[in-house]
Each structure stands twice: as C-alpha cells, then as structure tokens.
Structure 1
C-alpha cells in the first residue's frame, strides 16, 4: 500500500487525505483512520521529494546549478544571522529564470503579482509575478518564498523584480489591495511609483471586499460608486495601461498551476516551478512554431480581436457631386 500511495503522491502532491482514504477503501475493502492516512501521505512525501529540514541545505546548491546552466537566471537570498558561528538562517529566496527575463522584453508592459499560502511542514507564502504574452497567455516571470505577506516582504520582492527582471518604465502593476503592497508601492527607491510604473487594483478584489463588508443588496448594487480612485480600478479612467486586464486572475491561475508544489520541501518546490515553467514555455513554443510554418503573421489572440472588430464595423457610402 505504501508504494501505491507514493506513486499517487508523486503524480499529484496535492492529493487530499480523503481521496487516499477512498482509494484504500475501494482497493482493500476497509476504512483507515484519517490520522493514519495523513501520516502515510507525509512519509510518502518525504520518500519521494526529500526531507523538509535537509531540503533547505540542498537549495543553494541546486539553484547555483540552475544559474550556471541557464544563463540569465537570477537568484537573491535574504538570510538571517545565527548564534552558531559560520551558519545563517533561511529568511527568503527570490528566483527568476533566464528565458522568462529575456521573454518579458517582448511582452506587453504589464505585470500581475499575488501571494499564496504554503502548506508543507513549515508555513510561509509564495509570491509570484507574471505577465501576458502576445497570444494572451500567462507568462511566468518570478517567484519568491517569504515568511508572509507584509510591507517588508513585498518591498523586498518588488525591489528584486526591478533589480533582476526588468527596468522598463511605464509598466502597469496589477494586484489586490493588500496592506503590505499599498504601504510600499509609492516608495521611489523600490522603483514602482509613477511615472516609472502605474499601480492598478484587481477589480474582483475590490468588489469582493465591498460585498463582504456590506451585506445590503442595495449597497452591493452601488459597488461601482466605491470611494476608491477610479483610475485604480476602472477601465474607463485607466488611460490604457491595463491593456484590458481588469483582474489579477491570471496570477491566481498560475498559483493553481503550482498548487501541488506548495506542500513540498523547499528544494522540490523550487525544482517543480523550474520544470513546469520549462514545460509551459515548450508547449507555447511548439504552438507558435506551427503557426509560423502555416504562414500566419499574427497570433491567434490578435486575429480573434481583429475579426471581432471587423464584424462590428460598418461602411458608409456617400455620393460626391
């Protein structure tokens, strides 16, 4: 049974204990207590992906290898002092793969950021940044593991984005209204204040926060009169910086892609982001290569936009005397 659980965990680290319990019941005909299955899953994770504590020591070596064999990859560490001479304590780590940094030069100047929980032995948050490519697809940019979402961690992450990923001006940065982000976004030293960048809010988060606070249906219908700068969350007052992207849903979708990674030991987590990003880019490369071979000049996303505009257009004929 342990081998079967290991195989399931290897294929999907996020598999729930309830699913494993049901599998055992169907195959072996008896019900195992939740606690025992939980322990079995935890042991399987260690066998397949390594020990949580030892994983922290392996991570610097693994990332060094990635930097060496993938030119342009950037890694930054935030280490804490230790009482033990010659040792440091892990605080945070930021990483961005070389091909992503290079590819962003050809994406629209738009970045979405978000944070999501880690569910392994040690808690924390994974911060992510992504853009949108010419075909309207998610374009992973950078990741970080931090102790939580606060002013210090967001300041550190946003500064690393400027230092290692892009120094382009005029970027639209879309996020939720987390206090940590709002408290540092206008700090000129970080590099995301206007006119270097234009911070915009995720419309869905604005609406959700309003609806959670005010239960009255009448008030919910007035959400679009919320006392928030219209330039921050409406397309009509946006000056075009959003490129039509009203939410940070793409960033949340990417968090879903890496859902299984969030309960893994540290090195396995980072390794999974590496290989899934490779797979993602390879699939996109194959799609575009096939389109080029067919003689297509514009992306599928662009052609749909042009066709839609063409269908809604009209002609006016005038007689000239």
Structure 2
C-alpha cells in the first residue's frame, strides 16, 4: 500500500483486508460449509463411482455441526487397480478461518508420478480422525496382505492402520527415522546407519513420505481457501493431471513407461550388458523382466477415465448420508461450521514438522571479498591496503 498508494497501514489491517478480499473472491468461510451437501451430490453425479462421506455432530440449539469430510474421485478409484499397492498417507494443517487438517492418501503410478487417491478434512491429526479416514479409505483401497502403507512417525497413523488395516504392512519414512535418531541420540552417524540399514533390503523404491508431501505442496495455496473452493481446487487439479498425463502417454510408442525405460537403459549401460533388439543376450525380452505395473498399457488405463467439472444445475437425487453420532439424516440439512478456530498470530506458511523432525538449515554461500579473496567482508570494508 505504501509503495503503490503512499498509504501507511498496519500489518493486521493489511491482513484483514486480504481476508475480506479472499472472502469476496472465494465466498464466506462459514457459509461455505452449508454448500457442501449439494456440492457432493453434484460431484457424485458428474463423476460416477466417486466415494464421499460427511460426518457431523448434533448440538442442541444449534443443529448439525461439521466434523469430517471424505472424498475420493471415481477415476482415481478405478485407476488404482493398475498401480502398485503402496499407499502413502500424510496430514497437513489448513490455514483458513476454521483451521483443521487435510489428510491425504496417495499412490505412485508406473511413471513415478504422484497419484492422489483420497482426501479428508478433519479437525486435527488425532486417533479418531485418522481411524475415520482409513475406514472410508477401505472402500477405495481394499485390505490385502500385499498392501503397504508408508507414513511419517505420527502415533495416530500407527494406531489407525493397526486397527483398520491389520493385514497390511506399515513402513516408516526413512527420513523421519533418521531425524528422530539425530534428535534423540545427538549422533549424525547413527542416522546415516539407519538410512543404510533401511535401504539394505529394498522391497519398494518408495522409502519416504515425499509422495504425499508433494501433493500437500501442490495444495499449499488452496489450504487457506473455504472448504468448498478447497475441494473444488482438488477436483480441478486432478482433472488437469489426468488430461495432461493421458495425452502425454499416448505419444510414446514404447512398451515401458518413459521413466522406467530410461532406468532400464541406464542399468544396461552401467552393467555393460548386450542390448540387442531390446533383449538380454538376444533371448529374453527386457519387458518380461519388468513388473506389469511399469508398462505403458497400465499407465494408460490408470488415466483412462475423465474427471468432469461440477455443474451448477440442480442435481437429481443422489444417495448421500450424513453420519451423526446417533442417527443418519438426510443430506438436505443446514451445516454449521466446526468449533475449531485458527490460533491467533501470523499464520505460518511453512510446513509444521512432525514429532521428532528437525528443520534442516539452508546452506548459505559465504561471501568472498574480490580484493583479498577472504570471507566475511566485501571490497568496501576490506582492510587490505590498496
């Protein structure tokens, strides 16, 4: 304001003005909750197979108060059948007026790209919220002994996976394990040994929760939106990804996905093998040595379905239940915002670290004096005689 209009205002006045502008552009944060039931109807109607769940709490004299929301787009559910059964789960804090957390479950496609499966908006990363999220995820990701979860070291995730997915395996992020070791034992060498031990027997190439954290980074700006624009942002981003990746994949004429084909070629060069007509020693085809999850055919099918936008026309009656503590009511009910509020103070833009995780300090390049070639000062303050 001072630079453009020569008007001095306080930081908080500027912040409140920004919030008013955001409400004008995206809608009121409180009123947005009341739009969710109709939006979910339209979303299911436009994208068949989509799974949604809305959990509320009844409060005397107030009505149905929002508690949890779960969404998984139908195209993602179908596409997951053609991906490896490794699911990365993570949570990130919302920065809107009513705070809360965004829980996510992601997979990785055969071209090593992030493949979001489901999202939920809850009151926080606690045992009940994670358990509710995974119970709804069961309809998207069936329980299996071949299923593997990867997450950070949050205790609520450990509790929920053990209760909802007792047959699945659960792996902790290697980076979080290393940071925990460094924090508790004050020994960097032990953290290095933990990383080496974790990679000694490599079941999958997914050793960290970076896949889910990358998806959270994509939603960084939208995490301060009201709830309906946030959900619509997720749907729109997935629609763009599916369209772009499907068009890009159709260009390739190889049997393997582009990324895997590069890795296979690099391994052949590194090992000094004879690669003639894409076969090993002219006998065994290379494609037969690679899992079918990495084939171009599987990648195309994973993105085969379209994700369509939500129309503003009145939707036909679609079955949608709102689960409360005692009863199941019709979706045509007025929703009250949750009781959670954003804590006072300036909202943080950086990711809140998990328990035991430490923030790595960025490497700062030392300034070198152009006159004496020493660090710590510049040419103007150099004491070297001219």
- TM-score bin, normalised by smaller chain: 0.7 to 0.9
Check whether the contact 2:179–2:191 (CA below 8 A) recurs between aligned residues: no
Match of 1:83 among 60, 66, 70: 60
Deviation at 1:236, TM superposition (A): 2.5
The aligned counterpart of 1:311 is 269
Which deviates the most, 246-255 or 27-36?
27-36
The aligned counterpart of 2:381 is none
Alignment of 1:191-230 (within 5 A): 192-194=165-167, 197-215=168-186, 219-223=187-191
Aligned equivalents of 1:212 and 1:271: distance in 2? 39
Greater RCO structure (CA 8 Å; 6+ sep): 2
Check whether the contact 1:111–1:173 (CA below 8 A) recurs between aligned residues: yes
What is the SS of the residue equivalent to 1:186? helix
Check whether the contact 2:73–2:118 (CA below 8 A) recurs between aligned residues: yes
Alignment of 1:29-68 (within 5 A): 29-68=6-45
Check whether the contact 1:97–1:142 (CA below 8 A) recurs between aligned residues: yes
What is the SS of the residue equivalent to 2:238? helix
The aligned counterpart of 1:236 is 200
The aligned counterpart of 2:121 is 145
Deviation at 1:115, TM superposition (A): 0.3
**Residues 315/102 of structure 1: CA separation in 2 closer, same or farther (3 Å cut):** closer
Deviation at 1:315, TM superposition (A): 5.4
Check whether the contact 1:235–1:244 (CA below 8 A) recurs between aligned residues: no
Task: For residues 123-150 of structure 1, give each alpha carbon's deviation from its aligned partner in whole angstroms, at most 9, with x where no partner exists.
Answer: 1100001000011100011000111111
Is 2:237 the partner of 1:261? no
Give ranges in structure 1 of 5+ residues lacking alignment.
1-23, 317-321
Deviation at 1:237, TM superposition (A): 3.7
Pairwise CA RMSD: 2.1
Is 2:258 the partner of 1:279? no
Give ranges in structure 2 of 5+ residues lacking alignment.
275-386
Aligned equivalents of 1:35 and 1:76: distance in 2? 37
Max Rg structure? 2
Q: TM-score scaled by structure 1?
A: 0.80
**Residues 207/315 of structure 1: CA separation in 2 closer, same or farther (3 Å cut):** closer
Task: For residues 230-249 of structure 1, give each alpha carbon's deviation from its aligned partner in whole angstroms, at most 9, with x where no partner exists.
Answer: 9xx813345x2xx2111001
The aligned counterpart of 1:171 is 147
Aligned residues between the structures:
274
